[in-house]
Amino acid sequence: MTNASNTPSITLYGIPQCDTVKKSRAWFTGQGIDHQFHDFKKQGVPADLLTGWMAAVGWQKLVNRQGTTWRKLPPAVQAGVTDEASAAALMLEHTSVVKRPVVVWRHGGQAQVSVGYSPEQWQAWADAARAA
């Protein structure tokens, strides 16, 4: 039986059609790890959390410069992304430019953030939550 106080609150943020998001959701389900899904397309990027994500992982890691959305942006818009404020504005306007998934684990009053498919990191966090 799982101790409720050792159970993290996990939210996976992304776009359901994204292959990496699909793979991540399947990993959590396959591991039997409960999680919530936040759809950027339907619910948007949560502006109140974006600052914390940037503080945790850096705005450069959150802006997906390899994706189709980025490549379709005008060069002037791309060149204008030079700091946290400009990156946040872009991610709020173009949700598909956020690298996916963003996974937030809340456990014991702490929040941890990962970006991209990171099963090794997620497993380490799950193991630490079980051990707590």
- For the stretch 88-123, pLDDT in tens is 999 999 999 999 999 999 988 888 999 999 999 999
CA distance 26 to 1: 23
Q: Which residues of 61-80 are buried (b: 16+ CB within 10 A; e: fewer)?
A: bbbbeebeebeebeeeeeee
pTM above 0.75, yes or no: yes
Output the domain CATH number for residue 24.
3.40.30.10
Inside any domain, residue 16:
yes
Give the chain's domain count.
1
Q: What domain range is 24 assigned to?
A: 8-131
- 5 has catalytic annotation: no
The pair phi, psi for residue 72, each rounded to 5°, is -85, -10
C-beta of residue 8 within 8 angstroms of C-beta of residue 34:
no
Choice among 7, 11, 15, 18 that is catalytic: 18
